[in-house]
Amino acid sequence: MPLTLCVSPEAPPPAQAIAAETRSAAGAGLRLGLLDNSKSNADHLLRFLAQAAGESIQITAVVKERKYSASRPLEAAALDKLAQETDFVLSAMAD
C-alpha cells in the first residue's frame, strides 16, 4: 500500500503543494527516522508519534538524530545518515 503523508503546521497553507515521494509500506517494513529539534519535550512527542506509527505500519529500524540547537540546521553528516538509512523521517517541535 503506498504511503504518502506531508503535514505542515504553517498557516495559511503554502500556495503551491510540495511534491512528496511515494514509497511502499508493504513488505519487510520501513526504517523510521526521528529528528529531534532539541526543544523541550520534542523527544516525548517523537516517542509518542513513533509508537503510533508502529501501530499502523511495520517498522524494522529506528534512527534517531538530534539537532544541536533548534535555531541551527541539522549537521550535513546527520542529514546524510537520515537520507541513507531511513525510509521516512518524523520531526517534532515542542515546548
Task: Note the Cα 34 to chain centre separation in Å.
Answer: 5
Residue 41 counted as domain residue: yes
Note the pLDDT tens digit of each residue in 30-84: 999 999 988 888 888 899 889 988 888 899 999 999 999 888 889 999 999 999 9
Residue 56 counted as domain residue: yes
> Quick one: cell of 30?
520501513
Residue 59 counted as domain residue: yes
Q: How far apart (Å, rounded) are the C-alpha atoms in residues 79 and 72?
A: 13
**Length of the chain in residues, anyone?**
95
Residue 4 counted as domain residue: no
Domain hosting 45: range is: 28-95
Residue 38 counted as domain residue: yes
Residue 11 counted as domain residue: no
Whether residue 70 contacts residue 37, with contact meaning beta carbons closer than 8 Å, is answered with yes
Residue 53 counted as domain residue: yes
Number of domains in the chain: 1
Runs of H (alpha helix) within 1-95:
42-56, 76-85
Note the pLDDT tens digit of each residue in 7-30: 555 566 556 666 656 655 555 789
Q: How far apart (Å, rounded) are the C-alpha atoms in residues 64 and 79?
A: 11
Residue 47 counted as domain residue: yes
Assessment of whether the complete model's pTM goes beyond 0.75: no
